[in-house]
Structure 1
């Protein structure tokens, strides 16, 4: 009976997703099926269907919403210690960290049975005495939030009625998520109080905050400090969460620096993030004095484990026909199909749904929460096919994706080959060292598409092989299951 109820619930969810596909707000002209040909309504310049990518703060939130469970970190971590002569320790059990019984109970209640990869290395450095500063990078879902929350809680003295730990996040939603982790982990610490310096949570001048931990956004936190709600010089741990967003986004950088400058020189300063570019890393090292640094070793641009093909199609309908033919030959775990516009993505989703495929649609019309919900369902294999625009070209790791299809070739704003987007698109397959297949559909009437393909070949120094999707013999030979 339970299985039947579970199946019924999933069926209801799928119907909801399908209904959303049908009801996307696209104008009536776009909703129709345009004539085949080079100048049909698939142009990236179509204002009604232009895709708006998420900004840095929204992407940060979406990553956290998607990764509600720990994921395996596959990249190598490089550790640069403040004191290179100091031995580097790592731990395999939380008991090795000399934590209080209350914190250990909180950790285990949250489902952490042992430290994650970043926690193994970071926690001994974070919990060292005297405290040491840190800049740390780790993928979303690998336990970085739990690591810095544990550090804050381990420094709190509940008998002191003033803020001792301060954590800044880029957005209201991220601040509340961090607070949720802290409250859960510290639920056994009697008397622990948390205050949220977020929008609409104002304090009157002269009002004092007695909470032990303050979590909030830079602007409101600065207002609290200006109103003398708490003394920042008494803060012993300062955390900058999603530090790349905080530092790289205009406004956040200045506000964060103003807050940081009011802290004492003995305050432990921690910068955590999923991503860092070189400029941000250099700036972070200037802001955080003498830090320990944990950074992911950059993966080189590699397409070695992804088989790439192109197929020439005379029309949009022929592209769909080619897609169904591919499924007739290849056993696909999960697939991501990239389209240039919302219109094309919606049309293709409808065609595939009518053809019996279990499809999810992801486009720029959806807000962050809706996108995260769709991506989480896809990661859980509730839908086997994800039709999307460029909003999904980066940062989403789904181990079961074995096929990526460029229904439309990636172009930059000038209509030229967008090689970086191509790399990120086809990089959605071949994850975690596994092999994958990428197939590019080339419009027969568009010389531009073939020119784009040639530019991509030249950029990466590769040869993309042709695939005759009307010949089962050719497909079976090149992509068939061996």
Structure 2
């Protein structure tokens, strides 16, 4: 892991200091380039744009250290253990690596183990990259933590653990969940047994408590992962915890491999990463290339809140014959409750989730949705990032995402993460943005301009014919 710079707050806030640090480190990082063999040479400068290449193409990457990595066309190319290969093929059902896996896994698994900052589309297979990275680096015979994954929410931590346990089914590797317990399961940390699992996945706050109370030993940590890294490093409380964990590992274990994954990295976070990670490989995607082509996006102008419910009930749900599962995103806890009540009155079986629910209740809601007992899930942005449910092919933005303490400035990253809940792993999906009033129009226009992507408008919210047309276009109506 690269050493964290010890600077005063004044130094960090100085634009000249930041610019100098960024430029110096960018000079150290040779831009990664992806090469199809028939081209016979290294591509142009700058980080690779993953969507410029077909999944089947042979890709070669030149890393910051000068190491040449051959992309993996099969998981066997990665020299994984037979137990891991069995987990990938038999338990996970994977036949070959996805595009992001083919490029990043050789970078993660090839000595000398380099740090990696990787950005790729939602639903492209990022989780497998860092989970496989952790499983490949730990020694199953040693009962001590060797890999840590930090997540922004308990739901994402639990989901990542579920993936890891399936993938590691035949390895003997175990995993601990470092998340705050439900009230019924609470135990004082002083009575907690020391962690002996090889992998620990959890939220930053709980990880800090475990480390501080000497329940989680960090002296043998080989690999540290940040899932949804931009969120972890942009939010002040998350950033403070993240830096504390990195410092503790560095002081007790020395150097370890650092992996940062997300679908979005804004310029502020990129600057921070460049200062913190002195050596490593980077893969970024142009923001205009981030919107998912397989996810059809639509905007619907409505006169009032009641019309939003009518559109959902009488147009989208009524005509959407091929609608699988649906996530409806709202802005507030109150909106979650109101919309839930409105839809259940119409006999729709739906569930809702927001941050103030007890942990056990949140887990129950998630499990029922994943098991298919409920078709419609109403959520705040608690589930905007990383939540993976392959049956979701429709997302409805009941409220448009806005930045904290702002009225008309969109949260572009949250928008991208929201729409990424549909169309996972290249499947077809649709997103309906319900716009009510001038502010929503401004938000939508800013989002279109930011991503350089024009969102198709449904001409009339009252027209059954208009909705039949767009639902057919989205593959949700025969």
Residue in structure 2 matching 1:450, options 434, 438, 444: 438
Given candidates 125, 129, 132, the residue that maps to 1:146 is 132
Q: CA deviation at 1:144?
A: 1.9
Distance 1:364 1:212 in 2: 28
Measure how far apart 1:250 and its partner are. 0.8
Do 1:417 and 1:455's aligned partners in 2 also have CA atoms closer than 8 Å?
A: yes
Which residue number corresponds to residue 271 of structure 1? 259
Deviation by residue 1:332-371 (Cα, 9 ceiling, x = unmatched): 5133333444344323323322323221222333255644
Task: Specify the alignment match of 2:19 in structure 1.
Answer: none
Q: Is the 8 A contact 2:92 2:166 kept in 1?
A: no
1:376-415: CA deviation from partner (whole Å, max 9, x where unpaired): 5445543222223343444445555454444445555343
1:230 and 1:322 map into 2 onto residues whose CA distance is 53
Distance between the aligned counterparts of 2:342 and 2:318, measured in 1? 16
Distance in 1 between residues matched to 2:72 and 2:109, nearest whole Å: 12
1:325 and 2:288 aligned = no
- Structure with the greater alpha carbon radius of gyration: 1
Partner of residue 250, structure 2: 260
Structure 1 residues 150, 478: closer, same or farther in 2, change over 3 A? Answer: closer
Q: What does residue 354 of structure 1 align with?
A: 345
How many pairs are equivalent? 379
Give the 3-state SS of the residue equivalent to 2:357 in structure 1.
coil
Q: Deviations over 1:453-474 (max 9, x none)?
A: 1552365254764544444345
C-alpha deviation, 1:168, in angstroms: 3.7
Q: How does 1:183-202 map to 2 (within 5 A)?
A: 185=168, 200=189
Give the structure 2 partner of residue 97 of structure 1.
Answer: 79
C-alpha deviations, 1:418-468, integer Å up to 9, x for none? Answer: 3635555555556637352515253xxxxxx13431552365254764544
| Partner of residue 239 from structure 1, selected from 200, 203, 223 | 223
C-alpha contact 1:339 1:388 (8 A) present in aligned 2: yes
In the alignment, the residues of structure 2 paired with residue 197 and residue 328 of structure 1 have an alpha-carbon distance, to the nearest angstrom, of: 42
Question: How far, CA to CA, are the matches of 1:370 and 1:438 in structure 2?
Answer: 28
Cα deviations across residues 254-313 of structure 1 (Å, max 9, x unaligned)?
A: 34224314445xx5534354467355555556655643x263635525487535242434
* 1:167 paired to 2:151: no
Go from structure 1 to structure 2 and tell me whether the alpha carbon gap of 1:352 and 1:268 turns closer, same or farther (over 3 Å shift). closer
**1:415 is the counterpart of 2:407:** yes
Does the CA contact (< 8 Å) of 2:458 and 2:466 recur in 1?
Answer: no
Alpha carbons of structure 1 residues 409 and 240: separation in structure 2 relative to 1, 3 Å: closer
1:383 partner SS: coil
The residue aligned with 1:295 is: 283
The yes-or-no answer on 1:306 pairing with 2:296 is yes
1:17 corresponds in structure 2 to none
State the 1:147 CA deviation.
2.2
- Give the distance between the partners of 1:150 and 1:428, measured in 2 at CA: 28
Conserved 8 A contact 1:103-1:188: yes
Deviations 1:184-228 (A, max 9, x none): 949867xx9999999836999xxxx99795859356446659xxx
Query: Aligned equivalents of 1:240 and 1:273: distance in 2?
Result: 11
Could you state the TM-score of these two structures normalised by the residue count of structure 2?
0.58
Q: 1:423 to 1:215 in 2, by over 3 A?
A: closer
Report matched runs for 1:18-37 at 5 Å: none
1:142 is paired with a residue whose SS is helix
Whether the aligned pair in 2 keeps the contact of 1:325 and 1:470 (CA below 8 Å) is no
What's the C-alpha RMSD, in Å, of the aligned pairs?
A: 5.1
Whether 2:63 is the aligned partner of 1:81: answer yes
Instruction: Please give the secondary structure, in 2, of the residue aligned with 1:242.
Output: strand
Describe the shift of the 1:134–1:78 C-alpha distance in structure 2 as closer, same or farther (beyond 3 A): farther
TM-score normalised by structure 1 residue count: 0.58
Displacement, 1:90? Answer: 2.6
Aligned residue in 1 for 2:376: 385
Identify if the C-alpha distance between structure 1 residues 328 and 357 changes in structure 2 by more than 3 Å, giving closer, same or farther: same
How is 1:390-409 mapped onto 2 (pairs within 5 angstroms)?
390-396=381-387, 398=389, 400-408=391-399
Distance 2:197 2:382 in 1: 39
Instruction: Write the deviation string for residues 91-110 of structure 1: whole angstroms up to 9, x where unpaired.
Output: 624486274x6777787786
CA distance in 2, matches of 1:315, 1:180: 39
CA-to-aligned-CA distance 1:227-262 (integer Å, 9 cap, x gap): xx9894xx5x62212273776521430342243144
Superposed CA deviations along residues 133-167 of structure 1, whole A, max 9, x for unmatched, are 3325475542522322221228x7x6xxx96x743
**CA shift for structure 1 position 114:** 5.9
Secondary structure, aligned partner of 1:348: helix
Assess, with a 3 A threshold, how the Cα gap between structure 1 residues 322 and 276 changes in structure 2: closer, same or farther: closer
Distance 2:346 2:251 in 1: 60
Q: Give unpaired runs (5+ residues) of structure 2.
A: 1-49, 54-58, 180-187, 202-206
What is the aligned partner in structure 1 of residue 45 from structure 2?
none
Equivalent pair of 1:91/1:124 in contact (CA under 8 Å)? no
